[in-house]
């Protein structure tokens, strides 16, 4: 019941945001919707321009991502992925970290996939490595990152490398110290119900329905993140942002916090990060690009609905410490 209510509220928020964007765009085209005496602040126009530029750059990559995700959900079974998973942990960890390159899945869709894989017998540490690295180490996200940082193409390499390191170290920690099954009690029944429902559906129709549903589900987070980013850049003075960016620890914590709150899709977050390039250091932008797709507000709710509360807290703590230490002390 709580999950349905939360999903309903998010859907309402998404519809309102999309409606606001459409009204804003139409009204600004001088169609007579706004009174003749109504004057728009130049800052509002700056927010609109920046917001639309971020949104229009990101949407094509989101569409590619949701379609790949839909194909994976429909045509690749959990049993097939399980058979391909190496048994040796030393091989399985890097294999899971690179699995996202073969099956591009964003963080919006990867939690239920990993949940099913763990239920069907995949080791927990392997599933968590895939969960963390998959949304970053895949060709769609790499292409989006390169497009957003064309003047800094090495951002693609650093982002993928840092994601691999953080994901493998987290998986190693879980392999050594987590013994109990972290799935919540009763989740197996829900998984069986989902599998039966999916098996009884026509595959092509299921693919497109999943792609459409996921696009609109991710779209509201993208719109919210782009809008907040545009507002922050227009209404927050450049002097304040520059001062924060000159303090390494504060800059990293702020960017990681923004990555958590924005809850952007990994196919789109590079464009948000690039819009902060003038105020924050390169390493703090990498903290945003690595931490956000691994742990954000959106997937924290999904993780809490799948795994035990204590396990989610440990996972968030490990990822936070590793991302902060790696991006803060690694020489760039």
DSSP letters, 231-264, are: HHHHHS-HHHHHHHHTSHHHHHHHHHHHHHHH--
In a domain, 2, yes or no: no
Dist. CA 165–CA 296, nearest whole Å:
19
Residue matched to tokens 């920046």:
50
In a domain, 10, yes or no: no
Task: Report the pLDDT averaged over residues 266-285.
Answer: 89
Task: Report the pLDDT averaged over residues 284-303.
Answer: 92
Judged against a pLDDT cut of 50, whether residue 196 lies above it is answered with: no
For residue range 40-67, what is the model confidence (pLDDT) as tens digits?
Answer: 577 788 888 888 887 887 788 778 777 8
For residue range 67-120, what is the model confidence (pLDDT) as tens digits?
Answer: 877 777 777 777 777 788 888 988 999 999 998 888 777 776 788 778 878 877
CB atoms within 10 A of CB 316: 15
Residues 6+ apart with CB under 8 A from 17: 220, 223, 224, 227
Judged against a pLDDT cut of 60, whether residue 158 lies above it is answered with: yes
Give residue 110's pLDDT: 83
In a domain, 7, yes or no: no
Structural domains in the chain (count):
1
Give the angle 312-318-323 at the CA atoms, nearest 5°: 125
In a domain, 30, yes or no: no
Q: Which two tokens stand for residue 267?
A: 């196919």
In a domain, 32, yes or no: no
In a domain, 208, yes or no: yes
Q: Among 56-60, 172-176, 269-273, where is mean pLDDT lowest? A: 56-60
Dist. CA 101–CA 114, nearest whole Å:
16
Give residue 249's pLDDT: 92
Give residue 97's pLDDT: 93
Q: Residue 210's closest CA among 193, 227, 194?
A: 194
In a domain, 127, yes or no: yes
Max avg pLDDT among 36-40, 183-187, 277-281: 277-281
Give residue 200's pLDDT: 46
Give residue 293's pLDDT: 95
Give the number of C-alpha atoms closer than 13 A to the C-alpha of residue 182, restricted to the C-beta side: 29
Contacts 24+ apart (CB under 8 A), 285-288: 285/155, 285/255, 286/155, 286/158, 286/159, 286/162, 286/327, 286/332, 287/252, 287/255, 287/256, 287/259, 287/323, 287/324, 287/327, 287/328, 288/255, 288/256, 288/258, 288/259
Counting residues of the chain whose pLDDT is more than 90, the rounded percentage is 33
Dist. CA 259–CA 278, nearest whole Å:
17
Judged against a pLDDT cut of 70, whether residue 194 lies above it is answered with: no
Task: Report the pLDDT averaged over residues 270-299.
Answer: 91
* Band of pLDDT at residue 6, cut at 50, 70 and 90: low
Q: What is the mean pLDDT of the chain?
A: 80
Judged against a pLDDT cut of 80, whether residue 238 lies above it is answered with: no
Q: Positive or negative CA dihedral for 278, 256, 253, 143?
A: negative
Q: What is the dihedral of CA 157, 217, 182, 308, to 10 degrees?
A: 120
In a domain, 26, yes or no: no
**Host domain of residue 88:** 41-329
Dist. CA 320–CA 99, nearest whole Å:
22
């Amino acid at each position: 019941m709580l999950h349905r209510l939360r999903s309903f509220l998010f859907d309402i928020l998404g519809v309102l945001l999309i409606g606001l964007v459409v009204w804003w765009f139409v009204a600004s085209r001088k169609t007579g919707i706004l009174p003749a005496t109504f004057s728009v602040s130049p800052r509002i126009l700056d927010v609109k321009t920046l917001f639309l530029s971020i949104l229009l750059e990101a949407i094509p990559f989101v569409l590619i991502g949701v379609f790949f995700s839909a194909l994976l959900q429909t045509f690749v079974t959990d049993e097939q992925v399980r058979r391909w998973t190496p048994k040796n942990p030393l091989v399985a960890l890097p294999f899971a970290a690179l699995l996202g390159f073969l099956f591009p899945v964003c963080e919006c869709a990867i939690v239920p996939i990993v949940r099913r894989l763990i239920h069907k017998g995949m080791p927990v540490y392997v599933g968590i490595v895939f969960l963390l690295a998959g949304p970053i180490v895949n060709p769609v996200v790499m292409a989006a990152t390169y497009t957003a940082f064309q003047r800094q193409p090495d951002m693609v390499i650093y982002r993928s490398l840092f994601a691999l390191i953080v994901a493998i170290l987290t998986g190693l920690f879980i392999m050594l110290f987590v013994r109990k099954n972290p799935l919540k009690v009763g989740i197996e029944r829900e998984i069986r119900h989902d599998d039966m429902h999916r098996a009884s559906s026509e595959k092509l129709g299921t693919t497109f329905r999943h792609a459409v549903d996921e696009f609109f589900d991710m779209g509201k987070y993208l719109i919210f993140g782009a809008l907040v980013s545009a507002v922050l850049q227009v209404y927050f003075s450049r002097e304040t942002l520059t001062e924060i960016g000159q303090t390494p620890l504060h800059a990293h914590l702020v960017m990681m916090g923004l990555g958590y709150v924005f809850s952007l899709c990994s196919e789109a977050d590079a464009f948000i990060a690039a819009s902060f390039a003038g105020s924050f250091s390169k390493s703090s932008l990498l903290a945003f690009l690595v931490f956000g797709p691994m742990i954000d507000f959106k997937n924290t709710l999904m993780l809490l609905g799948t795994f035990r509360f204590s396990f989610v807290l440990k996972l968030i703590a490990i990822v936070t410490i590793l991302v902060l230490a790696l991006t803060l002390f690694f020489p760039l």
